[in-house]
Amino acid sequence: MNSDTLPRSLRLIVTGGGTGGHTYPALTAVRALQARLTAVGGTLDVLWIGTADGLEARVAPAEGIAFTTVATGKIRRSSNPLKLVSPANVRDMARVPLGVAQARKVVGDFRPDVVLATGGYVAVPAGLAARMCRRPLVLHEQTVRLGLANRKLASSATRIAVSSESTLPLLPEAVRGAAVVTGNPVRPEVLSGHADKAVAALGLHAFDRRLPTLYVTGGAQGAQQINDVVRGLLPWLLERANVVHQCGPANVEGLRQYATALPADLAGRYYLTGFVGPELPDVLALADVVVCRSGAGTLAELTALGKPAVFIPLTSSAGNEQAHNARHLEDAGAAVALLGDVTADSLRDAVEPLLTDPARRSVMAERARAHGRPDAADRLVDVLLSAASG
């Protein structure tokens, strides 16, 4: 949409959250939409409908976004149909009609030009309310397959923005015409890191820059599974690479104790930290290979950056989504997926070709980049503006 046809003011309701995977793409899209309208002297009014205990309850107000909550029910999945009618599920399902009624009042009072739903349980009542109030509803799906909330809302959506071409054939045929591939919005700061800044900020002066750098991360809390296999392989890894290991705040002490037994020359190439904060973009810029989980946000960041990765999916992710994500990139030669029982040996077999062969790293980086969509936020903004203008 060119600047001449941009609205002078836009009212947007955002709904979704619970986790960073649903929250940050929404926030990134809001920032991009705000920038687009501000550039032409326009204004954006945003209201976020979320849950009181989800990540969005902290993130939205911190960004100056008006925030409200509605009742919602978490459906606890089970392969056993009898467990689906557990007392907790029955109690939560009973809250959904209340949430829809509350959301309908919020949508009716705010009168948005468009509603963006990014998934999570809270998106269901707000999305249904958008349909009842005849407001355009745009869904955004971060993962390869539609999540539970978006499946419930698909038939109500004006547009369904998906992150991957491979999602299109998986959509119900009746809603495929509403789908558009945007990619998964990546925070722009993630794409603007500098390797030398990571060296300076973290004091990595003992790193051997002739060797590749491996970044190991298990997410904000760390991942015991990843920590254990890396610990079992650490001396071998450090003979071939520098290692930045983000292990989770609770796991630092045990790993630090273990690292004291490393030979001095290897110990200098090992940087252990509980948490990586604002320096994350610079750490990613420094990394030649990444070992990590395969959540949708991680995939979006690593492919936008073109980073070779070895994925160790979280097996308990909803619908086994992380394994699907990892397999999808592995099939394209854009990553390695370690599924099932992961051992130090299987990790060694996966990372050795990437650490020892720069050409192989380069090929995987190119294939990863081919799946990346660094302009995803702008594409999603285009879809929102198009839906709002009818």
Kindly write down the DSSP assignment for every residue of 257-319, as one continuous string: HHHTTS-HHHHTTEEEES---TTHHHHHHH-SEEEE---HHHHHHHHHHT--EEE---TTSGG
User: Quick one: 389 exposed, middle or buried, by C-beta within 10 A (0-12, 13-18, 19+)?
Assistant: middle
According to the model, what pLDDT value does residue 315 have?
82
Relative orientation angle of helices 296-305 and 358-371, to the nearest 10 degrees: 120
Cα–Cα distance for residue pair 61/71, rounded to 1 Å: 19
According to the model, what pLDDT value does residue 83 have?
58
According to the model, what pLDDT value does residue 129 have?
97
Cα–Cα distance for residue pair 226/347, rounded to 1 Å: 10
> Domain spanning 3-186+374-388: which superfamily?
Glycogen Phosphorylase B; (3.40.50.2000)
Task: Identify whether the C-beta of residue 126 lies closer than 8 Å to the C-beta of residue 148.
Answer: no
User: Which tokens hold the place of 202?
Assistant: 């973290």
Residue 246 pairs with which residues in a beta bridge? 217, 273
According to the model, what pLDDT value does residue 318 have?
67
Cα–Cα distance for residue pair 192/199, rounded to 1 Å: 15
Reading phi first (left if > 0) and then psi (alpha if -120 to 50, else beta), residue 25 is in: alpha
Per-residue pLDDT of the chain in tens (390 residues, 90 and over written 9): 555 578 999 999 999 999 888 999 999 999 999 999 999 999 999 999 999 999 999 999 999 999 999 998 765 455 555 555 566 656 666 778 899 999 999 999 999 999 999 999 999 999 999 999 999 999 999 988 888 899 999 999 999 999 999 899 999 999 999 999 999 999 999 999 999 999 999 999 999 999 999 999 998 888 999 999 999 999 999 999 999 999 999 999 999 999 999 999 999 999 999 999 999 999 999 999 999 999 999 999 999 999 999 999 998 766 688 998 899 999 999 999 999 899 999 999 999 999 999 999 999 999 999 999 999 999 999 999 999 998
Cα–Cα distance for residue pair 234/228, rounded to 1 Å: 10
Cα–Cα distance for residue pair 296/50, rounded to 1 Å: 20
Q: What is the pTM of this model?
A: 0.89
Nearest residue to 190 via CA among 309, 118, 285: 285
Same fold, 3-186+374-388 and 188-371: yes
- Token pair 């630092």 is found at 252
Range list of H helices, the chain = 20-38, 56-62, 81-84, 87-93, 95-110, 123-132, 148-153, 195-202, 224-238, 252-259, 264-267, 280-286, 296-305, 321-331, 344-356, 358-371, 376-388
According to the model, what pLDDT value does residue 199 have?
97
- Token pair 């983000």 is found at 246
The structural domains of the chain, with segments of one domain joined by +, span 3-186+374-388, 188-371
Which option is the CATH number for 188-371: 3.30.70.260, 3.40.50.620, 3.40.50.2000, 3.40.50.800?
A: 3.40.50.2000
Nearest residue to 242 via CA among 202, 203, 211, 201: 211
Cα–Cα distance for residue pair 340/342, rounded to 1 Å: 6
